C-alpha cells in the first residue's frame, strides 16, 4: 500500500518559539537545562502534528539546534582547533561558537544551501580527526518512539554530500576522507539497525549536480560498503532540488529506495524514469508536493502524475513525499487572518502540505467522494487567484514585453563614468563607506511598532526617523567615513520594505522561515503583476543628504534579490517577474536622481542564490539576471554612481556576470571566505570599482586594526588600488551600537594605514 512521508519539518515553531529559545539561551536568560527542555517540547510538538495529520513515515533528526550540516560535523567531532574542543559530545558552547564565533575565534564560514535562501555552516576538515561523538539519529529515533510511539524515519546527510560541502582538504584527499567518514556512517547505521529502525533517509542532494566518473565510483563504493554492513536496513537515498544526474548509475545503487524530486526536477526525473524504467526491487520516493513553494498544488495534476508512476512502480513500492524538507516554507496558514480569502485559499504552508500528501496518498488508493470534493475545492481556489485583477495588469505586461526587446546600457562606458564621478566627488583613495543599515535597537523597533499600532501618528514617527538619521549622520562624519548612508531605520527588512510599497505583493502575519541560525525572515508574497505606485526611499535619503556635505547613498534592494527572497507566483516565468520588478525599481532610481542623490546602491546579495543547479541552465539565468539589474540602473546620468552589494555566496564562477552588471562600485562579503575570493581575482581581472568586506558583521566581536589591514593588503595585491573601496561585509542592522562604532573606527584607522602605505603608488 502506498505510504506518505515528508523529508523534514520546519524547526522554528508557529510563533518562532525555537528562535526565541535560542536567543534567550545565548543572552544568558535561560539555563541550559531549561533550554534543552524547551527545545524538546518544540521538537515533540512538530512530531505530534505530523502524527495527527496521518503521515506514515515521519522524519526524525531533521530538527536542529542551529544547522543540520553543523550537526553532522559535531556528530563526527569535526570542530576547528581554534575552539579548543577536547573530544566527546560537543558542548553547546563550542557548537554555538563554531556557528557564531567567540571573542577569541572567528566563526566558521556560512554559505547557501544549494540554490535556496537557507545558509549552512561549512565544515572545516583541516587537521580534523573524525570520530563518532554521539549517535544523534539514534537519540532522535528513541525520543520519538518513547514519547509519542512514533516509528520514526531517521534523517542524516549523506557522506558524499557532506564531504563535497566541506572545506579544508584537497581533491587528492577525497578518497582518504571518505575512508575516514564512511566507517562512522556505518557505525551510526549499525546502531540504528540494532535498535530496530525500519527506514533511514540519507540525503544526497549533491547527486542533482554534475559528478565526475571518479565521484560516481566513490558513490558506488560508499553504498556497497553500507549495504554490506547493514543489509537489513531500509535506506532511502534521497535527492532534491533538481533532477538527478547519472540516473542509471544511481538507481543501481544497493539501497532500498530512491527519492526523486518531481517538482523542481519534474521534467528530467520523469523523462528518466519513463525512458529507463525503475528497478523492481526498489521503492520510489515521489516528491510531488513542493517543499519550497507556498502555493496549493494542483491536486488533480499531482494525482495524474502519481497514477502515471504506478504504471512504472507498483503502489506498494511508492511513497508520496514532499519534494524536499519543509524547512523552506512557513508553518501554517491557520493564523493568517488578514489576507484576502482569494489569496489565502490558494496558499499551502507546511501543515497544509501535510494534508495534501495524506489526501493524495488516500486518493491514489481509492478516491472517496470527500477526497474528490477536496480536490475540486483546491482547483477552484487556484483558478480564482489566476483570474484576479492583480494577475492581469495589462499595462505592466505590455511595458515588460517592450523591455524584452531592448538591451539596457548606460550612456557612457565605465572608464568615462569613473573619470566624471571622480571629478564630481573628489574622493580620496580607498573611499570608506558602509553597506547601508545601522543598528536597529529595541527602541527603534518599539517606535515602529507604536506607529504601526496607531499609537504614533505619521509625523511623530517621521520625526523619530529624522532624529535617528541626525544621530548617525553625525556619527559617520565623526568616525571619518567618506560616503554616508541614512541608516534605514524606517525599514523592517530589505525586501519587505519595498514589497509594502509596490503593487502585486502581499504580506503574511506569521509566514516566517529560517534563513540561518536564529535569523528568521518573513518573505513577501509576489502574487500579482508588480507595479510602481509612488516614491519609496526619496524622503529619508534626501533628508540625510541635507544634513551633510558628504555624499549620501540612496539604498534600494535589487530586482533579483527581491524576487529570490520572496515567495513568488508560479504561473509565469521567473524572468518575467524579475523584469516587472526592474521596471518598478527603475522609476525609484530615477526619482532619487531627480531629488539630487548622486550615489545609488541597488543591492543584489541574492543573485547567485537563484543560480540553477544545472550547468546548462546557468548562462541563461545569469543573462536575464544581469539584464534586470541593468534595466533598473541604466537610465541615470554618467555622473551618478551606481553601487551594488553581494554577500555569502561563491563568486569565482560568475565574475564575468558581476562585471556585466556594469555597476560603478560593487561591495562583496569576503570576511568568512576572504582567501577563496581573493584567489578568484588572482585568476580573473576586475576592471570596475570594488570593495571587499574587511570584517564579519555577523560575529559579535570587534576586529582589530591589524586584522583588517591584513585583509586590505591581500586584496590590493590583485585589485587596482585606484578602484578599491573599504567597507564592512554586510549591513549593520543586527549589531549593537558600541561594537558598530568601535569596528568602524578600526576600519577607518586601517584605511589610513593603507593610504599611507600606497600613497606613492596611486
**Catalytic residue list contains 412:** no
Distances (CA, A) of 156 to 7, 131, 140: 11, 16, 11
Residue 717: count other Cβ atoms within 10 Å of its Cβ: 9
616 is in an annotated binding site: no
609 is in an annotated binding site: yes
Question: Is the distance from CB of 601 to CB of 643 less than 8 angstroms?
Answer: yes
603 is in an annotated binding site: yes
Q: Cβ contacts of residue 567 below 8 Å, gap of 6+?
A: 293, 294, 511, 523, 524, 525, 526
Closest by CA position to 602, among listed 616, 615, 587, 613: 587
DSSP 730: S
Helix (H) or strand (E) holding 267: helix 266-276
435 is in an annotated binding site: yes
446 is in an annotated binding site: no
18 is in an annotated binding site: yes
| 291 vs 671: CA distance, rounded Å | 32
| 292 vs 303: CA distance, rounded Å | 19
16 is in an annotated binding site: yes
706 is in an annotated binding site: no
565 is in an annotated binding site: yes
Buried b (16+ CB within 10 A) or exposed e, 526-549: bbbbbbbeebbbbebbbbbbebee
67 is in an annotated binding site: no
647 is in an annotated binding site: yes
What are the respective helix, strand and coil percentages of the chain, to the nearest 5? Answer: 50, 15, 40
664 is in an annotated binding site: no
Question: Is the distance from CB of 66 to CB of 517 less than 8 angstroms?
Answer: yes
Cα pseudo-dihedral 593, 599, 605, 611, rounded to 10: 60
520 is in an annotated binding site: yes
Q: Residue 562 has which C-alpha cell?
A: 527581491
Candidate list 486, 679, 698, 758, residue with the active-site label: 698
**Both ends of the chain: CA-CA distance in Å?**
74
| 406 vs 513: CA distance, rounded Å | 37
17 is in an annotated binding site: yes
Buried b (16+ CB within 10 A) or exposed e, 608-635: bbbbbbbeeebeebbebbbbbbbbbbbb
Binding residues: 16-19, 112, 117, 435-437, 488, 519-520, 565, 603, 609, 645, 647, 669, 730
Binding residues for Zn(2+): 645, 647, 669, 730
Binding residues for L-homocysteine: 435-437, 488, 603
Binding residues for 5-methyltetrahydropteroyltri-L-glutamate: 16-19, 112, 117, 519-520, 565, 609
Q: Where in the sequence numbering do the catalytic residues fall? A: 698
Amino acid at each position: 500500500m502506498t505510504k506518505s512521508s515528508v523529508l523534514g519539518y520546519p524547526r522554528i515553531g508557529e510563533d518562532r518559539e525555537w528562535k526565541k529559545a535560542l536567543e534567550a539561551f545565548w543572552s544568558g536568560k535561560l539555563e541550559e537545562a531549561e533550554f534543552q527542555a524547551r527545545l524538546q517540547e518544540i521538537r515533540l510538538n512538530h512530531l505530534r502534528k505530523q502524527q495527527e495529520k496521518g503521515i506514515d513515515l515521519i522524519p526524525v533528526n531533521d530538527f536542529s539546534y542551529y544547522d543540520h550540516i553543523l550537526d553532522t560535523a559535531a556528530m563526527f567531532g569535526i570542530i576547528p582547533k581554534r575552539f579548543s574542543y577536547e573530544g566527546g559530545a560537543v558542548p553547546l558552547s563550542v557548537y554555538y561558537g563554531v556557528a557564531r564565533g567567540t571573542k577569541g575565534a572567528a566563526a566558521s564560514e556560512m554559505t547557501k544551501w544549494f540554490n535556496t535562501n537557507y545558509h549552512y555552516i561549512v565544515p572545516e576538515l583541516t587537521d580534523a580527526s573524525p570520530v563518532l561523538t554521539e549517535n544523534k539519529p539514534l537519540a532522535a529515533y528513541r525520543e520519538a518512539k518513547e514519547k509519542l510511539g512514533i516509528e520514526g524515519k531517521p534523517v542524516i546527510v549523506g557522506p558524499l554530500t557532506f564531504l563535497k560541502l566541506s572545506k579544508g582538504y584537497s581533491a587528492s584527499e577525497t578518497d582518504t576522507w571518505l575512508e575516514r567518514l564512511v566507517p562512522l556512517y556505518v557505525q551510526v547505521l549499525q546502531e540504528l539497525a540494532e535498535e530496530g529502525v525500519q527506514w533511514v533517509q540519507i540525503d544526497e542532494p549533491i547527486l542533482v549536480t554534475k559528478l565526475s566518473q571518479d565521484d560516481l565510483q566513490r558513490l558506488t563504493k560508499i553504498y556497497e560498503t553500507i549495504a554490506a554492513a547493514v543489509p537489513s536496513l531500509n535506506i532511502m537515498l534521497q535527492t532534491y532540488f533538481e533532477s538527478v544526474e547519472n540516473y542509471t548509475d544511481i538507481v543501481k545503487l544497493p539501497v532500498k529506495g530512491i527519492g526523486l524530486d518531481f517538482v523542481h526536477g519534474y521534467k528530467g526525473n520523469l523523462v528518466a524514469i519513463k525512458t529507463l524504467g525503475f528497478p523492481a526491487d526498489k521503492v520510489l520516493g515521489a516528491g510531488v508536493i513542493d517543499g519550497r513553494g507556498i502555493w496549493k498544488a494542483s491536486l488533480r495534476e499531482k494525482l495524474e502524475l502519481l497514477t502515471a508512476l504506478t504504471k512504472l512502480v507498483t503502489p506498494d513500492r511508492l511513497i508520496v513525499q514532499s519534494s524536499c524538507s519543509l524547512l523552506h516554507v512557513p508553518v501554517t496558514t491557520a493564523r493568517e487572518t488578514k489576507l484576502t480569502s482569494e489569496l489565502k485559499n490558494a496558499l499551502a504552508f507546511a501543515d497544509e502540505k501535510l494534508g495534501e500528501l495524506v489526501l493524495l496518498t488516500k486518493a491514489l488508493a481509492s478516491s472517496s467522494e470527500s477526497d474528490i470534493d477536496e480536490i475540486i475545492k483546491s482547483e477552484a481556489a487556484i483558478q480564482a487567484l489566476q483570474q484576479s485583477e492583480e494577475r492581469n495588469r495589462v499595462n505592466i505586461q505590455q511595458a515588460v514585453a517592450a523591455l524584452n526587446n531592448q538591451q539596457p546600457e548606460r550612456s557612457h562606458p565605465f572608464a568615462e563614468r569613473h573619470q566624471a564621478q571622480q571629478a564630481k566627488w573628489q574622493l580620496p583613495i580607498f573611499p570608506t563607506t558602509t553597506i547601508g543599515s545601522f543598528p536597529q535597537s529595541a527602541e527603534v523597533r518599539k517606535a515602529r511598532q507604536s506607529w504601526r499600532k496607531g499609537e504614533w501618528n505619521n509625523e511623530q514617527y517621521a520625526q523619530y526617523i529624522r532624529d535617528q538619521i541626525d544621530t548617525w549622520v553625525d556619527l559617520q562624519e565623526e568616525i571619518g567615513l567618506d560616503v554616508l548612508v541614512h541608516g534605514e531605520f524606517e525599514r523592517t527588512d530589505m525586501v519587505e520594505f519595498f514589497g509594502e510599497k509596490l503593487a502585486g505583493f502581499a504580506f503574511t502575519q506569521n509566514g516566517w522561515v529560517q534563513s540561518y541560525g536564529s535569523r528568521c525572515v518573513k518573505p513577501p508574497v509576489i502574487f500579482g503583476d508588480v507595479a510602481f505606485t509612488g516614491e519609496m526611499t526619496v524622503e529619508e535619503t534626501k533628508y540625510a543628504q541635507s544634513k551633510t556635505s558628504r555624499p549620501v547613498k540612496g539604498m534600494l534592494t535589487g530586482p533579483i534579490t527581491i524576487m529570490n527572497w520572496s515567495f513568488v507566483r508560479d504561473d509565469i516565468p521567473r524572468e518575467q517577474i524579475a523584469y516587472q520588478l526592474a521596471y518598478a525599481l527603475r522609476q525609484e532610481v530615477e526619482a532619487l536622481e531627480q531629488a539630487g542623490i548622486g550615489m545609488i546602491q541597488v543591492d543584489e546579495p541574492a543573485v547567485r542564490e537563484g543560480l540553477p543547479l544545472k550547468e546548462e541552465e546557468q548562462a541563461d539565468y545569469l543573462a536575464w539576471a544581469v539584464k534586470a539589474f541593468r534595466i533598473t540602473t541604466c537610465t541615470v546620468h554618467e555622473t551618478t554612481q551606481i553601487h551594488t552589494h553581494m554577500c555569502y555566496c561563491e563568486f569565482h564562477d560568475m565574475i564575468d556576470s558581476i562585471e556585466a552588471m556594469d555597476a560603478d562600485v560593487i561591495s562583496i562579503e569576503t570576511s568568512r571566505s576572504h582567501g577563496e575570493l581573493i584567489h578568484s581575482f588572482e585568476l580573473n581581472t576586475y576592471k570596475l570599482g570594488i570593495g571587499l568586506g574587511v570584517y564579519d558583521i555577523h560575529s559579535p566581536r570587534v576586529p582589530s586594526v591589524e586584522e583588517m589591514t591584513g585583509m586590505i593588503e591581500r586584496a590590493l595585491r590583485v585589485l587596482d588600488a585606484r578602484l578599491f573601496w573599504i567597507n564592512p561585509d554586510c549591513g549593520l542592522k543586527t549589531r549593537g551600537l558600541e561594537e558598530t562604532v568601535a569596528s568602524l573606527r578600526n576600519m577607518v584607522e586601517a584605511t589610513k594605514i593603507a593610504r599611507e602605505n600606497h600613497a606613492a603608488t596611486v
